[in-house]
A and B are shown apart, each in its own frame.
Chain A
Amino acid sequence: MTPVHQAYLLQARQMQALSFMVHIPLVSFGIAFPAMILLVEWLYLRSGDQLYRTIARRWTRVMAALFAIGVITGTILSFEMGLLWPAFTSTFGGVFGLGFAIEGFSFFTEAIFIGIYIYGWDRLSPRMHFLSGIPIAIAGMTGSLTVISVNAWMNHPSGFRLVDGKAVAVHPFSALFTNSFLWPELVHMYIAGYMVTGFLIAGAYAIAMLRGRWSRYERTALTIPLTIATLASPVEVLIGDWVGRAVATAQPIKLAALEGLAKTTRGAPEHLLGWYTEGQVKYGIAIPKLLSLLAFHNPNAVVRGLDTVPVDRQPPINVVRVAFQLMVAIGSLLALLGVVYLFVRIARRRLPESVWFYRAVALAGPASVVALIAGWVVTEVGRQPWVVYQVMLTNEAVTGASGIPVGYATLVVVYVGVLAGVVWILRRLARIPMERSADTAAGRTADSPQPAV
């Protein structure tokens, strides 16, 4: 397709970004929640303790609501492939489209078994019910694998040649699945999904604890997601470092933007905080040689600077840089929180007692969502002005249709309403009376308000 002029390219990009910001936190639940619920259900099956059943059932209701919203926001994203970026899809649909076509089958599996799982409580035998949940957890994994394979391809494209604006000699399987960029990105996103889900769920019970509700139910429902998320947090830092090294080799200009490195430098320093203007980072704290060390494991390695490409081929530096620092800062703090929790659990064999710990857990959920979105800003804005890195510019991908501002405004209004609705339904679900009988039936009630474990 021949490129067109689109006066509202920026709005189109913002509309895409908005749609992602709504979808991605929801699909974090699609990635991690089924596995967590299955773990709790497994505990119920093994122990026969009704408390676990109560937790799993209550979480299932939350999962059902979030899944439905995940489905519709994802549908909007697939519409936007045509609504906003038809020239991208027309040119490269034959290369990357397969990822989404395979993803479709993950969605089928997920949707089918989630129907069985949600409506099968009480109606299928406990064993059958547990088994019906397993495909959901697997499909969450394969679904993110295929969609991330598309994103990894956009960042590190291969598997085709471009002749007269047409993709020829296309090898879709190798383009998507033999890409060196795929694995770091996938694992990083996958673990992020567990952190977001774990901290948000645990945060809900941390708030309950701060408000004085601290029965065995709350303690157990906090411990399980919090344990998973705190184990994931330190690992996420190590994986993030791995992702960073992949970016350093595949997208040097993105790395330079992340660090605000104007000129190619041997033994490049790393700047914490600060603001990039006029070719340098002002007000930042410079740590000599750290960037070279982190990116290439060699304190004297040469790091490419922004000046190796023209200004109109550079991404917006401060957006990318601030987003990156935000993610790393939050990631480090969450890893610290994780270490504290694990230390108390292992060394003292109990839950932490300080209210500050529970305040931190309550904050950790929203913070991990911020890190998640910041990370995607790094990936997507850091790739600008390219939609397919060094192959197709975003302004060549955009639609020629008019009316983007109308669509954007409409979507903002609708999504604000949807988010309000999500908050409303979650509060309603939280207020559904507890199956108290089930809790006490197990005979192990310790309804003390103190975190005595």
Chain B
Amino acid sequence: MHLYELPMIFVLIGLVFYVVLAGADFGAGFWQLFSGRGARGASMREHAHHAMAPVWEANHVWLIFVLTVTWTAYPTAFGSIASTLSVPLFIAAIGIILRGASYALRAGTATAREQRSSDTVFALSSILTPFALGTMIGAIAARRVPVGNAAGNTFSSWTGPISILVGVLAVAACAYLAAVFLAADARRAATRDPSERHLEAAFRARALAAGVLAGAVAIAGIFVLRSDAYALYHRLLHSGALAALIVSILAGAGTLVLVWRRHFEAARYSAALAVAGVVAGWAIAQYPLLLPGLTVRQAAAPHDTLVAVVISVLAGAVILFPSLALLFRLVLRGHLEHGADRSATAPPRAIGLLSASAHGLLARLAGACVLAGFGLLTIAEAGWAHAVGVLALLAFIVCGSFALVLSHYGSV
């Protein structure tokens, strides 16, 4: 393992997380379109919406992670990809705006009609975005992105057979992942509210259908790959990539069996493994080339940057993973669920705010801080004086706010 490969590993791990987690959110949008009419359809849409509500923002950040690590550690590759593939990237951007906006607006919808139209925009953009991002992956795999500022073709670079195929595969995979996750959530919801029992069966059927479809697209993909990108095809079948693909196929088939037998929780993980297998297979087959004529090593940023990225990502992971674990634990246990009103909220015991003397002290402290801050920041010249002065001014805002807010409380 070389230093210049490490950030690429991070990028690929980020990509797997993005596909698995955000993919399921996109898929939840997909199922908004195919949930049927009437009360049952409405309850399916409601379920899909609430299942992703607490997590979609966190899941979306994996995309930001992939982008920022790529442009820091492999800047030339990032610039080449983004400029040649500007059209699908922009389409994905618009999809992301519409999706986030329709999500945010749903909280304000009052009538079924408003809700329906917000769900429709949400669903269409949830299909558009993974498709556009998929075509970009296809374009890179098919080596249609040359090095340089918009050096490739604006359209034909991402409209080739592989691009379309990966785009469709991305949508199918999202639908599949979402159905598996939603079926698991539905089972939990049904233990609380038996009227929701039909949801589990509905999402199970959809998971099976989408799984078969995604598998069929993937198999068709092998033939497309053979005719459209023979080099990649060849390497996929003749290196460690094959092992990864086999793992993926087994995991994919295993997921179907698990869903069939209603082991939804286990199916979540095997579905994730199937995705990881495809990404790993692709990466191994393409290595060491990132873009035509540009190896990972050539694309890598200078040494100090790579060290800084690795340190930052590892340090960030120490905060990230425990936080993510907390979020998903709360979600999976249903603690954040719609209607899961546990009312652990006996009103707190009043402790009282602040004594009058503490209060007067705060006010005087604020006064002292503002005078000191003015003197040190605005009149004094030294750098250290400025630093202390700024801190004093910030302390003035904090102390002053507490003093005045608490005195307001006393007076109303």
- Report which A residues bind B (CB closer than 8 A): 1-4, 39, 43-50, 61, 64-65, 67-69, 71-76, 78-79, 81-83, 86-87, 89-95, 97-98, 100-105, 107-109, 111-116, 118-120, 122-127, 135, 167-173, 183, 187, 191, 194, 216, 219-220, 223-224, 227-228, 231-232, 234-235, 238-239, 241-242, 297, 342, 345-346, 349-350, 399-403, 407, 410-411, 414-415, 417-418, 421-422, 424-425, 428-429, 444, 446, 453
Give the distance in Å from the alpha carbon of A94 to the alpha carbon of B306 in the complex: 8
Interface residue B76 (Cβ < 8 Å from any Cβ of A): yes
State the 5 A-B residue pairs at the shortest beta-carbon distance, nearest first. A82-B82, A97-B72, A93-B75, A90-B79, A94-B301
Cβ-neighbour of A75 out of B93, B335, B363, B397 (below 8 A): B93
Residues of A within 8 A of B412 (CB): 216, 219-220, 444, 446, 453
Q: Which of B337, B344, B401 is within 8 Å of A231, CB to CB?
A: B401
A contact residues around B390 at 8 Å (CB): 183, 187, 239, 242
* A103–chain B nearest beta-carbon distance, Å: 7
CB pair A86 B149 closer than 8 Å:
yes
Are A115 and B373 in touch, CB under 8 angstroms? no
CB distance from B306 to the nearest CB of A (A): 9
B interface list, Cβ under 8 A from A = 53-55, 57-58, 60-61, 63-65, 67-69, 71-76, 78-84, 86-87, 89-90, 92-94, 96-101, 103-105, 107-108, 110, 148-151, 154, 301-302, 304-305, 308-309, 312-313, 316, 319-320, 323-324, 326-327, 330, 335-337, 340-345, 347-353, 363, 370, 373-374, 377-378, 381, 386-387, 390, 393-394, 396-397, 400-401, 404-405, 407-409, 411-412
Q: Which one of B79, B305, B348, B349 contacts A98 once the chains associate, using CB atoms below 8 Å?
A: B305
Q: Are A227 and B404 in contact (CB under 8 A)?
A: yes
Q: Which of A2, A79, A220 has the most CB of B within 10 A?
A: A79
> A349–B326 Cα gap in the complex (Å)?
45
Q: Are B75 and A116 in contact (CB under 8 A)?
A: no
**12 A–B contacts, CB within 8 A, in A order:** A43-B409, A47-B353, A69-B100, A74-B64, A76-B97, A81-B82, A115-B327, A124-B335, A126-B348, A220-B412, A224-B408, A238-B377
User: Is there an interface contact between B57 and A231, defined as CB atoms closer than 8 Å?
Assistant: no
**Residues of chain A with a CB closer than 8 A to B81's CB:** 82
Residue of B nearest to A52 (CB): B409
Q: How far is A92 from B324 in the complex, measured between Cα atoms in Å?
A: 31
Known A48-B349, A241-B378; 10 more pairs at CB < 8 Å: A46-B350, A83-B86, A86-B82, A86-B83, A89-B78, A92-B75, A111-B58, A115-B336, A123-B340, A399-B149
Whether B65 contacts A123 by the Cβ 8 Å rule is: no
Q: Chain A residues near B79 (CB, 8 Å)?
A: 1, 82, 86-87, 89-90, 93
Interchain CB contact (< 8 A) of A125 among B69, B316, B344: B344
Which of B98, B320, B349, B374 has a CB less than 8 Å from the CB of A414? B98
Q: Are A228 and B75 touching (Cβ within 8 A)?
A: no
Docked pose: A447 CA to B394 CA in angstroms:
35
Q: Tell me how far the C-beta of B8 lies from the nearest C-beta in chain A, rounded to whole angstroms.
A: 14
Partner of B78, one of A82, A103, A183, A191: A82
A94 to B393 Cα, complex, angstroms: 35
Contact partner of B323 (CB less than 8 A), chosen from A112, A171, A219, A414, is: A112
- Of chain A, the residue at the smallest CB distance from B374 is A238
